[in-house]
Amino acid sequence: MERDIELILSKIEAEANKIIKLFPEREDVQLLNGRWGPYLKIGKNNFKLPKDVEVEKLTLEQCIEISENQPAKKKVVRKKK
């Protein structure tokens, strides 16, 4: 029973710490903490953040610039055997 409560509390804490920064000017732009570190979310699209960027100090303009300069994703083609 104690372990169950501990797991529930850790999940609630993780959800509370997920949001790093929100922008009131554009509500669809969010800086979030993910499984592999911080990332940028604009609408339904997710973008990687550069390693040398301080996430808390990013502005809305910098976030939009990061999203526009992302390289295209490579398509993975899998062959059937």
Burial level of 33, CB count in 10 A (0-12/13-18/19+)?
middle
24-80 tens-digit pLDDT: 999 899 999 988 999 999 999 999 998 888 988 999 999 999 999 888 778 888 888
What pLDDT was estimated at residue 30? 93
Q: Say what the pTM is.
A: 0.74
Reference 63, options 27, 18, 16, 17; nearest CA is 27
- pLDDT tens, 49-61? 988 889 889 999 9
Closest CA to 63 of 31, 19, 18: 31
